[in-house]
Homo-oligomer: A and B are copies of this chain.
Amino acid sequence: MIVTVNRKAHFNAAHRLYNNEWSDDRNEYVFGKCANPHFHGHNYELIVSVTGEINPRTGFVMDMKLLKDLIKDKIEEEFDHKNLNIQVPEFKDLNPTVENMSVVIWNKLRSHIPKNLKLEITLYETPRNFVSYKG
């Protein structure tokens, strides 16, 4: 009996879209107001999804309390109330689009989740724009 369990979390951060190999003009041409050098920000809503067999003794795929604490420790503590471009090392040379953020979050969590479980990340940048990544 393969079940997917999902846990929601959230963090608030500033960012700008910027390719540091391009001129400022080209960044503004491609990214528009998202390239604002003074930054803008979002309330990110994160769903972490873990898929696997139900453990017959606990009835859990994975203890949601542990998953909640893992998200808090590895993602919220690193990203919440931060400037992603300046203060999160993974985005030093990587444009913090919501697509790239979903990959970074997946990579940060993958090694902490048992290998027999599949992992998928869904990340809302706004209620109207969101992405998913499953490795």
Contacts and interface: CB of A to CB of B under 8 A. Distances in A.
Interface residues of A, number: 61
A34 B129 CA distance: 25
Contacts of A127: 8, 43
Contacts of A57: 19, 21
In the complex, the count of this chain's copies comes to: 6
Nearest to A21: B57
Contacts of A115: none
B4 A132 contact: yes
Interface of A: 1-10, 12-15, 17, 19, 21, 30-34, 36, 38-43, 54, 57-61, 64-65, 80-83, 86-87, 94-100, 102-103, 126-134
